[in-house]
Structure 1
Amino acid sequence: MAENVTIARPYADAAFELARGAGALGPWSEALDRLAALAADSTMRACISDPKLTAGQLVQLVLDVAGTLSAEQQNFVRVLVDNERLQVLPEIRDLFVALKNEHEGVLEAEIASAFPLDDATLTSLKADLEARFKAKLNVQVHIDPALIGGVRIAVGDEVIDASVRGKLANMAAALKN
């Protein structure tokens, strides 16, 4: 939701700057993963919106369930609770990861395949894509039988559609003209 992203952006920026300054991007990323999963849980969402819980109780509940957090991360949770922003933790995490990837020169790549890719094919495809984009890629792969065959690759704003479905769509468009 665009509104949640707008609300989350200053918190993600602050967390990123704090983590970068401390040289702790990895630990912050891991902590935000845990906190985002916690905030997305239906039971925790009920607690977040429960008016009977005080801010202090909610902070303690989150800290107890979240596992080990640094002092700065605990303070971050307190700020989110005080400003009633725990519910946007998934968006904060996503924005933080985007900032971290940009800082580290990593691009997100999504590969959709009609069929499962074996490890050798995936490794080769990833190496070819990293050479093409001149960047390290964080690859997410999923199966999409609707492609019929081949793959569709999205890296940043660029999409490479080498699927049978894409070729059929191009052929149909050419025949209509």
Structure 2
Amino acid sequence: MAEFATIARPYAKALFELAEEKNHIKSWLGGLKELAWSVQQPQVAALVENTETDSKYKADALIGLLGDSEAMKSETFRNFVYVVAEGKRLQVLPEIYAQYQDLALSRDNAKKAVIYSAYEFAGEGQKAKIVSDLEQHFNSRLDATFKVDPSLIGGFKVEVGDQVLDLSVQAKLQKLYTAMTN
């Protein structure tokens, strides 16, 4: 959704700059994550999309859902929710969260990585070794998320930003098939 990315960018950047100034980057990241998850739930999404409902009511409802979270203790963060609601941009919160997270990672010289494997890894030690090896390969610290994708058959595939490292059996079979048919 390129349109959402364009809309979300100034909100994410402004909030990140405020968070950096107030030293609340991590707590506000958690608050944004909760907000992004909340607006994707059917009942909350229906409230957000309802044009008859006042934007202040929508913001109050979202703030109420987060309750006593660390982010909601900040008046600045709560004001951010009101500004987003007033601009009728609450449905863009998941993209604002994603862009804010990217800003936080780039500040720490890290990148977000998704590691797909055909099977669940044996343990945390194995995951840590894979992440360590991939950090050397990509020459960057990685914030890794592991996902199971049985279609890979074996091996794994890594996505870091717009880079893909595909070491799966599926990819090798696809290359073999292409070589045999050409």
TM bucket (normalised to shorter chain) is: over 0.9
1:78 is aligned to 2:82 = yes
Q: CA deviation at 1:110?
A: 1.5
Residue by residue over 1:36-95, the C-alpha shift from the partner in whole angstroms, topping out at 9 and shown as x without a partner, is 112112111222233443233222222212223110011001101111111111111011
Q: CA deviation at 1:157?
A: 2.7
Correspondence list, 1:10-49, <5 A: 10-49=10-49
Q: CA deviation at 1:112?
A: 1.2
Distance 2:165 2:47 in 1: 44
Q: CA deviation at 1:176?
A: 2.5
What secondary structure does 1:151 align onto? strand
Q: Which residue of 104, 108, 116 maps to 1:104?
A: 108
**What is the TM-score normalised by the length of structure 2?**
0.90
**Unaligned stretches of 5+ in structure 2?**
none
Amino acid corresponding to residue 45 of structure 2 in structure 1: R
Percent of residue pairs identical: 34
Distance 1:11 1:89 in 2: 9
Aligned to 1:165: 170
Q: Which residue of 77, 82, 97 maps to 1:93?
A: 97
1:135 is aligned to 2:140 = yes
Aligned to 1:147: 152
Shift in CA distance, 56/109, structure 1 to aligned 2, threshold 3 Å: closer
What secondary structure does 1:40 align onto? coil
Q: Aligned residue pairs: how many?
A: 177
Amino acid corresponding to residue 62 of structure 1 in structure 2: L
Amino acid corresponding to residue 173 of structure 1 in structure 2: T
Residue by residue over 1:106-136, the C-alpha shift from the partner in whole angstroms, topping out at 9 and shown as x without a partner, is 1111111111111232121111111222221
Task: Decide which moves more: 44-53 or 132-141.
Answer: 44-53
Correspondence list, 1:109-120, <5 A: 109-119=113-123, 120=125
Distance 2:57 2:154 in 1: 53
Q: CA deviation at 1:160?
A: 1.9
Amino acid corresponding to residue 103 of structure 1 in structure 2: R
What secondary structure does 2:120 align onto? coil
1:62 is aligned to 2:59 = no
